[in-house]
A and B are shown apart, each in its own frame.
Chain A
Amino acid sequence: MTERLVVVGNGMAGVACVEQVLKHGRPFDITIFGDETHVNYNRIMLSSVLAGEKDFDDIVLNDIDWYKKNSIRARLGVRVESIDRQARVVAGSDGSFAAYDKLIIATGSSAFVPPVDGVNKSGVFVFRTLDDTRQLVELAGPGIKAVVIGGGLLGLEAARGLQVRGCDVSVVHLAGHLMERQLDPAGGAYLARKMESLGVRVLTGRNTEALLGNGHVEGVRFRDGEEIDANLVVIAAGIRPNAWLAKAAGLDVNRGIVVDDRMRTSDPRVFAVGECTEHRGQIFGLVAPLLEQGKVLAAAIAGGNDSSFEGAATAAKLKIMGVDVFSAGDPDDTKPGTEAIRYEDPALGVYKKLVLRGGRLQGVILVGDASDDRRYMDWLRTGKDLTKDRRHLLTPPPAADAGVDVAQMPESETVCGCMGVSKGDIIRAVHETGVNTFAQLKDRTRASTGCGSCGELCKSLLRAVAPEFEEDKVKVLCDCVKFPQDKLRDIIRSQKLKSVTEVLEIYGNGIGCEVCKPALAYLVDVVHCGGHEEDRSARFINDRVHANIQKDGTFSVVPRMRGGVTTPAELRRIADVADKYKVGMVKVTGSQRIDLLGVKKEDLPKMWADLDMPSGQAYAKGLRMVKTCVGSDFCRFGVQNSISTGIELERRLENLYTPHKTKLAVVGCPRNCAEATVKDIGLVGQDGSWQVVVGGAAGKGVRKADLLITVETTPGALEAAELFFQYYRENANYLERTYDFVERLGIEKVRRDTVYAPEEARHGLLERLRRSKDRSYDAWLERHDPRPGQFVEIQPMEGARIDGTR
């Protein structure tokens, strides 16, 4: 009979260990108990979920198919209540039993809740599980006063997460400085300053005495009597190994379940792995060493070899975007025989300290710039003699773009600190299992499936060693901000970033380029419905001077002529302007309006004033025009009023930016004289109804528009067009025309999300469109109040005083 393996705890260490057992190929009949109702997920990433950078679905490590495929019985939502070691069975909270030949205890740890008055009030949470995180996400929001008790890694990540969701957040910490177990007072002070600058209040040296409130928490009181308001409290004051189950079963337990170097407990049939264990007196709270434990344990029960776990150097890294903190080894430099080497730049917020002992690295602290963490980690692990490197210990890495030179890295160097994957492991995976994509690498080695910060490094390694490396399909916006556009949209929304500069500084290289800046300028605008901070330096010249640049540096001027309808008075003004400013050419455009070509930049504002017509935005990625045919007012075939409908549509959408230019047309009958079926949005009049069509093109390519909906009334048709327009604005990639957008999503999805969406969703789209519209204005009005130098050349204060002599 195959041996029965029972695992208590469906968390990161236990399941990783089972993965290793499966790799050895020795068959087991496996049952895993987990008291959470979820499949195994990446607990590390809960911080990112709280901060809105990841979704719950993004952090699953082993989906239900994995359990099925490997014939593992998953008992989710079932807690193991007791272990009978004589009978070799465990008893579940649902009354079930499972017999084992080998038992693995992987119960992890629980959040430590200090014995403070009032911790049972509603509104008080810990931050350990997916369910905890869900509740926090639900409650967090503007107007909530959140207090996080504990200024360690977890507390700070929780604080930032709550804050980006709009809460007013204070971190309360007992010790005199933040992260006192990993940082010295100076490092803690740098970190506190950084957190404060992000808008998180930091209160150190505060001993929490009671949580106040009647039923629901209302405040926090400290030992010295000071009180602060709170309607949400998160306790992140440390963790305690879940060892009670083992203890009740009579196994050796100190702080954690005592294990030997092969992860055996005091019962030879019972093993333990993860945060619940105590190995040589040490308890671990980070994933890398726990996975190492899992490998050793798997080898012990399934591999027959005797590898052993001998402890590990651990490193702590704060996972808050824009806040670099890294600490490893023992950074205490007060012990005799140690020497500290420091670097500080208060203006930049950079603090670094290396602690050496006998010429070797004993510990390191990096705040504000952790780009060198791998090198230090390697020095720590290998115990390298640094006597020869003394002059370069704190030298910053070369130019920002050079990155880590993968060829120079020793094979033993760790690439993925979370999952403990070295450069050698990756090279072996490529050579032995034919890994060719980043996704395959993650799958085979688990590299970069923890906090994900080594992703770029993994890719450059793959590029260097995998013979047929294929870049993954996700397209990042550009090299300056390496995120796909949807991700950026989420980040801008969840982190409430209002300007291009902010996005570039926190998530990019600080400068940007002509590819990312206009895209980001669009995204911050649309996400905040025009309530962003407009930064013209991020816009293409056309959008700074509201005209289209020509091959000789002059500009063209196309006034708005709604629906292609004009008046004799307008035509006279256009003629006068053309004479007065001696424009190179007057031309009727393909979009039913008039173009004045070859205009000097400094003449633009004066011309606009003389024209006294709004901008036609012929230069912008925005609404261009609504072409119309004569329709029922004049045409003998007309069955709908295309002119008034087209003009109304143009009024509703003009002055708004879109991912790419958007061109519309409205026609009075299916003869389609204004080509509505090859426009981004078209309204085609029928007897008694309108067909609203979207995604058409007759430019570089020709595409017949898809039917979005047929509606009876004109207001209904206008609303359908608005729904699609806003949906396109919010969901298309920058520079994606509607014909690509509709093709990519499929018209069925577009219909479901717009005209056939639930009432609230439709209302939301229209409401956001209205908000944007309210903030929009005719760009040519900037003639009244131009920015410095917007249209005119700079006049130097003086000429050069050079006479040519030397």
Chain B
Amino acid sequence: MGRDNGWVRVTEVANVAPREGREVRLNGVAIALFNLGGRFAAVENRCPHRGGPLADGIVSSLGGSVTVTCPLHNWRVCVDSGEVAKPADAHACVRSFPARVENGIVMVDMTAAALEEAA
């Protein structure tokens, strides 16, 4: 099977307001999907601190990377790598998933998650 199989058609671009996040459940994983203007990003919707819903956070930036600020205690998580950017010494991360837009539809690559589940 090719790697491409993991790409899931999620929703129309218009369903996620610009610069905001929305939650979506794919293969049993709660995912926070972000509309970053020209592109989308997807990370697991569970803050590594105490499980806050990242999709409800404010999109922010830190040192050149785009982050989301958790609504509960303001940890900042990079929406591309899933790494915690603030506090700097947290050394935690959430899973991140490749995302892209095709013909107005947001697609998320769940290959890694599915493989994990199968293993």
Q: Which residues of A contact B (CB under 8 A)?
A: 399-402, 480, 501, 509, 511-514, 517-518, 535-541, 544, 549, 551-553, 787-789, 793-806
Contact = CB atoms under 8 A, between A and B. Distances in A.
Contacts of B24: 793-796
Contact of B114 (A536, A797, A804): A804
A801 B16 CA distance: 23
19 contacts: A480-B61, A512-B61, A513-B58, A513-B61, A514-B58, A514-B60, A541-B56, A551-B50, A552-B51, A553-B56, A787-B17, A789-B16, A796-B11, A797-B9, A799-B8, A800-B26, A802-B6, A802-B110, A804-B114
Contacts of A480: 61
A541 B16 contact: no
Nearest to A513: B60
Given A788-B15, A802-B111, A803-B1, A517 B56 contact: no
Among B26, B50, B105, chain A packs the most CB atoms within 10 A around the CB of B26
Contacts of A789: 15-17, 22
A656 B69 CA distance: 26
Interface residues of B, number: 50
A788 B16 contact: yes
A536 B110 CA distance: 29
Contact of A540 (B25, B58, B62, B67): B58
Nearest to B29: A800
A514 B23 CA distance: 19
A796 B64 CA distance: 31
B113 to A, nearest CB: 8
Nearest to B117: A804
Contact of A517 (B26, B58, B118): B58
Contacts of A796: 8-11, 24-26
B101 to A, nearest CB: 13
A188 to B, nearest CB: 29
A518 B105 CA distance: 30
A243 to B, nearest CB: 52
Nearest to B7: A800
SS class, residues of chain B in contact with chain A: mixed
A511 B60 contact: yes
Contacts of A552: 51
B98 interface: no
Contacts of A514: 57-58, 60, 69, 74
A511 B66 contact: yes
B11 A798 contact: no
B6 A537 contact: no
B88 interface: no
Contacts of A800: 6, 8, 26-27, 110, 113-114
B8 to A, nearest CB: 5
B53 interface: yes
B84 interface: no
A536 B6 contact: no
A37 B29 CA distance: 72
Contacts of B103: none
B92 to A, nearest CB: 18
A787 B14 CA distance: 10
Nearest to B109: A800
A799 B71 contact: no
A804 B118 contact: yes
Given A514-B74, A549-B72, A793 B23 contact: yes
